[in-house]
Amino acid sequence: MKKYLAAAVILAIVFAGCSNDPSAPSGTLPNVQNLIIDETASKGDSVVLVWDALDVEVDGYHIYYATTVPGNWDEKGSTADTTWTHVATSTGYYELNASEGLNTSSGFSNRVDTRAESSILERELRTDSTTNGLVFYDDGTGWGIGCADSAGFAQDIYIGLANNMVYIYSGNHDPAQYPGGSDTKLCPRGCHGNVAPEAGSADWVDSVQVTDFNWIFVQLDNNHYVEVYVDSVFTNGADLLSFEYQLIDYLRLFNVF
């Protein structure tokens, strides 16, 4: 029952008072075109937006943001430039319009988002030699389990026991016993909310004791970040129920549900 309750909580979205778009503008200016996330410049908790300048005179551009869709849209800022940086506390969606005096665009720009790939996809890790390791697929679409004892399996994380308690370890924490592992780091989500710690932070460690209903950040060695949900823990392993994979290099933001 735990895992199904957790799944419902993970996927639940409150629809009351929410909308798919910001309040519709009603002006005559053209709509802003080609809004994109500059994935090279975006990193950490900073999302860099870029768009095409309108070919008419404008005072500026207004940036609207929502953490979910449907969701509550807020104007986060404005600029006369054609780029803007949002220091975010989670992933989210962005749209723009332009203004000149009291006149605005007739509609909004295209929508872009930083949402991490997410899935409810159960993986049961056991401390035996066949299902004690886990690897994340580079495209963010899934994860697989295998034998961390084998040099032929390059685990990102593995599970083990210490003092009769269950721990998840970084992939190369013990290369003598578990060869071939990736250079990853771990951090309980705790007070970090939806933003993983900075690279190099002391909050990143090589092992984390796991408990029921526990979120853990993983810093991968390919410049991506993952968040894993541990649904339940048993005497020789744990049930990992879902994950989020941030596809933008170096971006440490994760989703609001």
- Structure confidence at residue 3 (pLDDT): 55
DSSP 50-117: E-PPPSS--SEEEEEEESSSSB--EEEEEESSSEEEEE-SS--EEEEEEEETTEEBSS----EE-PPE
**What distances in angstroms separate CA 158 from CA 54, 124, 235, one per listed residue?**
52, 11, 15
190: tokens are 């705790």
Give the Cα separation of 159 and 140 in Å (integer). 21
Give the Cα separation of 21 and 18 in Å (integer). 9
- Structure confidence at residue 192 (pLDDT): 95
Its CATH class, for the domain covering 14-113, is mainly beta
CB within 8 Å of 253: residues ≥ 6 apart: 45, 47, 88, 90, 91, 114, 116, 194, 195, 246
- Structure confidence at residue 105 (pLDDT): 96
- Please list the rounded mean pLDDT of every run of 10 residues in the chain (257 residues): 46 51 85 98 98 97 97 96 98 97 96 96 92 95 95 96 96 95 96 96 97 97 97 96 97 95
Q: For residue 236, give the amino acid letter.
A: N
CB within 8 Å of 153: residues ≥ 6 apart: 133, 135, 146, 147, 180
**What distances in angstroms separate CA 152 from CA 83, 158, 171, 204, one per listed residue?**
45, 14, 13, 26
The residues spanned by each domain of the chain are 14-113, 116-246
Contact 161, 127 (CB under 8 A): yes
- Structure confidence at residue 2 (pLDDT): 52
- Structure confidence at residue 23 (pLDDT): 80
Give the Cα separation of 10 and 1 in Å (integer). 14
Using DSSP's 3-state secondary structure scheme, residue 46 falls into: strand
Q: Which of 155, 147, 156, 145 has its CA nearest to residue 227? A: 156
Contact 171, 125 (CB under 8 A): no
> Exposed, middle or buried, 134 (CB in 10 Å: 0-12/13-18/19+)?
buried
